[in-house]
Structure 1
Amino acid sequence: MPLAEKRILLVISGGIAAYKSLDLIRRLRERGAEVRPVMTAGAQQFVTPLAVGALSSGHVYTDLFSREDEQDVGHIRLARDCDLIVVAPATADLMAKMANGLADDLASTVLLATDRPVLVAPAMNPKMWAHAATRRNVETLRNDDITFIGPNAGEMAESGEAGFGRMAEPLEIVAAVEALLDGGAKPLAGRTAVVTSGPTHEPIDPVRYIANRSSGRQGHAIAAALARLGADVTLVSGPVTIPDPKGVKVIHVEQAAEMLDAVLARLPADIAVMVAAVADWRVATLNTEKIKKQPGEGPPPLMLTENPDILKTVGHSDKRPTVVVGFAAETQDVESNGRVKLQKKGADLIVANDVSPETGIMGGTRNSVKLITAEGIEAWPDLSKEDVADRLAGWIATRLT
């Protein structure tokens, strides 16, 4: 049995999806796992400790101040005496506690005291999942090496509500558990990837420069997502104000020519994801002194020359990676421009999006993309940039298997 003798601590928090935890216990146990349940007070409003205990065939832990369970500091024993902690469902409230190090009940105390891997299966209303506070907490937890499964899209318990927020199905969670306990099986283990991110700054003089608007959030998130799937990732980043992602080698550059050199130096590679908003032009001759305004004279002419096309260079290189992904930031004709770019650049996939000012995508935390391949176009719903990154990393992993 794949999970024979594995000890799973299952934290059940308060939400309607708690009923799925009953099936999850059954699925884990039929694969040989021992399941110890911890229930929050909210969880007990949806499923009873009696039902959970009957399926787990063991004690159900509910109280941080239980005289019986805490005689030997039980919350520490629970936190350490397991192979993996699964939080399913994980409410917005519990994730907020986890992200901020709060410990005011047994579940949050166990999660703060553990040194074991943690798998979180969020479940909440779509508006709660999309809220800026939840997105900040999710980003913090990801940076703390917490693994997520879901949420999925679909109908909510509330009438007329639909979107991302449904807890992953029990068998999906079981598969994630098996992957984490199988040495953290990584579909991209042994693969190399190079990712570009952020803008480039093309100097006009020592003070001024030409640039595109880009925060680097999407590229950095993709680099981190590929690393979580086991890839050896090099991120070539233009000037950004966000921190370097964990588990990724980062090369900082300023100009497009520097970015191209850094990318080519990492080839051959299995994966190239060119996300950076590279400035298309630079000045033909760099002014070594600040250009001064002259009384009675108009602005000086700027003679521009074209920057190297990094995506096209990589897509047609004799060291071309197996999977080449480019991004197309458009303000009109998103699909048609994306198709043209796919063909001209030699890419396997173009991730196209509308970056018109009203979308808030440039510099924002969310993205709405269309995947353009030779086979067709797939539109994804509005997602956080981290969720786009996770989905794209999964697409790449599938392409390589």
Structure 2
Amino acid sequence: MSLFAKRIVLGVSGGIAAYKAPDLVRRLRDASAEVRVVLTQGAQAFITPLTFQAVSHQPVHTDLLDPEAEAGMGHLELARWADQIVIAPASADLLAKLAHGHANDLLTTLCLATEAPITLCPAMNHIMWQAPATEANIHTLETRGVRLLGPIEGPLAEGESGPGRLMEPLDIVAALNGAAGAVPSIAALSDKRVLITAGPTREPIDPVRFLANRSSGRMGFAIAEAAARAGAQVTLVTGPSQLTAPRGVTRVDVETAEQMHREVLARAAQADLFIAAAAVADYRVAAPADQKVKKTETAQHLELVPNPDILRDVAALSDGPFTVGFAAETQAIVDNARRKLTDKGLDLIAANAVGEQQGFDVSDNTLQVLWSDGQATLGPAPKTQIASELIELIGARLDATG
């Protein structure tokens, strides 16, 4: 699956995130796609057609009732030319227009007139994104087969922070590149119950301090989104994370490894697939203090005790799910992962290097995926793309094992 020679109509609606759209055009062209741009009137208040003409090397389309274009029914020509329509950013107003079938400008009209798959990349204030009207519009669009990418959580133009930020252009291209159009359902995962863990755990030292790690949860959240797009019923058990759960995914928030163990084991027997992407703390403080420990001039010593092994306990279930582990390693990645695969009785394991600018707090990743009689390398690529490829590989292994 590739964007090579794909014909993409990029629609840009009004919003400050429109400034990222020229970079998206460039990234799409770097992926060997052919891009034609359609700007709404609102988009032109933020960025000019000339900018897009320079980066796309194609005329830019702005008006539905352009006499020259409409002499040849320009909106129908664009609608039929496109292999895919991508709208980035997609404003709340545009989502509402598409949900209700409006056709009062070029972009909404060609969306009604096309048979190509449509992908929307929303961007707006976080309160607008979470408004009941927006949620209803998104539900309507998704039931019609429209795909959504994002938004992501982060700082917004108005100085606030929350879900509503446009996905980064590289991540959008990676997601499109992994799908090359509409996202197909993976037969092996369709309607399967998938249980996924993500993020770090926090093990309290006292009421204000804890032991944790650098995991952001991005990989686990990306896997949850990919599994949901593949047709699975996904439950995501996550440690503390600022990320927003993908639409259609049931989120369960926990803090400690013991809490994660309890929530996972309560659901594992009913799951068809378990993917342990969380970076669970191996140890916890034996006796956390009830009150804040005051600083002194003497050394402090913490007694650490092992946390329950979530992955081992799920793999040991007599009628448990197909179990996928993760191994974050700083050396001998494949050897250590192969040992973990065998020792814990896993069906598959995905291993990656962690350390300086690797694994944690970065958008790209590389995975070494191992099973009893095989191995594959995924990446390097954005985590969204790696997640899609991993879900496809897991689907293939599920098919192979019956």
TM-score w.r.t. structure 2 length?
0.63
User: Could you tell me whether the CA contact under 8 Å between 1:85 and 1:119 is conserved in 2?
Assistant: no
> Is residue 2:298 matched to residue 1:293?
no
User: Could you tell me whether the CA contact under 8 Å between 2:379 and 2:386 is conserved in 1?
Assistant: no
Distance 1:213 1:345 in 2: 24
Deviation, structure 1 residue 319? 3.6
Unaligned runs of 5+ in 2: 1-6, 11-24, 35-51, 95-104, 120-164
Distance 1:237 1:44 in 2: 41
* 1:204-283 equivalence runs, <5 A: 204-267=205-268, 268-283=270-285
* Closer/same/farther in 2, CA of residues 368 and 149 from structure 1, 3 Å limit: closer
Distance 1:64 1:43 in 2: 22
Counterpart code for 2:283: W
User: Could you tell me whether the CA contact under 8 Å between 1:200 and 1:256 is conserved in 2?
Assistant: yes
Distance 1:301 1:70 in 2: 77
Superposed CA offset, 1:312-362 (max 9, x none) = 1111112410x21111001111111101110112211111111021x3321
* 1:177-192 equivalence runs, <5 A: 187-192=188-193
3-state SS of paired residue (1:370):
strand
Counterpart code for 1:148: L
Distance 2:109 2:283 in 1: 50
| Counterpart residue number, 1:374 | 372
Counterpart code for 1:300: Q
> Is residue 2:146 matched to residue 1:136?
no
Identity %: 35
Match of 2:83 among 86, 89, 98: 86
Counterpart code for 1:311: L
> Is residue 2:356 matched to residue 1:328?
no
3-state SS of paired residue (1:350):
strand
| Counterpart residue number, 1:355 | 354
Distance 2:109 2:368 in 1: 39
* 1:110-149 equivalence runs, <5 A: 110=107, 114=111, 118=117, 136-137=168-169, 139=171, 148-149=176-177
Distance 1:200 1:86 in 2: 43
Superposed CA offset, 1:11-35 (max 9, x none) = 568959569xxxxxxxxxxxxxxxx
| Counterpart residue number, 1:130 | none
User: Could you tell me whether the CA contact under 8 Å between 1:135 and 1:384 is conserved in 2?
Assistant: no
| Counterpart residue number, 2:307 | 307
Match of 1:399 among 386, 397, 400: 397
Deviation, structure 1 residue 150? 4.0
* Closer/same/farther in 2, CA of residues 241 and 256 from structure 1, 3 Å limit: same
Counterpart code for 2:198: S
Distance 1:63 1:327 in 2: 51
Distance 1:371 1:235 in 2: 21
Distance 2:374 2:239 in 1: 31
* Closer/same/farther in 2, CA of residues 312 and 138 from structure 1, 3 Å limit: same
Superposed CA offset, 1:278-331 (max 9, x none) = 01100111210111123x5x222211110011111111112410x211110011
User: Could you tell me whether the CA contact under 8 Å between 1:12 and 1:18 is conserved in 2?
Assistant: no
Superposed CA offset, 1:20-76 (max 9, x none) = xxxxxxxxxxxxxxxxxxxx9799979xxxxxxxxxxxxxx99855327659x974x
Counterpart code for 1:265: A
Distance 2:109 2:282 in 1: 48
Distance 1:333 1:44 in 2: 45
Deviation, structure 1 residue 269? 0.8
Distance 2:287 2:9 in 1: 64
Deviation, structure 1 residue 185? 7.5
Counterpart code for 1:318: S
* Closer/same/farther in 2, CA of residues 375 and 100 from structure 1, 3 Å limit: same
| Counterpart residue number, 2:162 | none
TM-score w.r.t. structure 1 length?
0.63
Distance 1:18 1:240 in 2: 34
Counterpart code for 1:345: K
Aligned CA RMSD, in angstroms, stands at: 4.2
Distance 1:185 1:331 in 2: 33
The number of aligned residues is 301
| Counterpart residue number, 2:199 | 198
Distance 1:186 1:148 in 2: 20
User: Could you tell me whether the CA contact under 8 Å between 1:98 and 1:141 is conserved in 2?
Assistant: no
Distance 2:348 2:209 in 1: 34
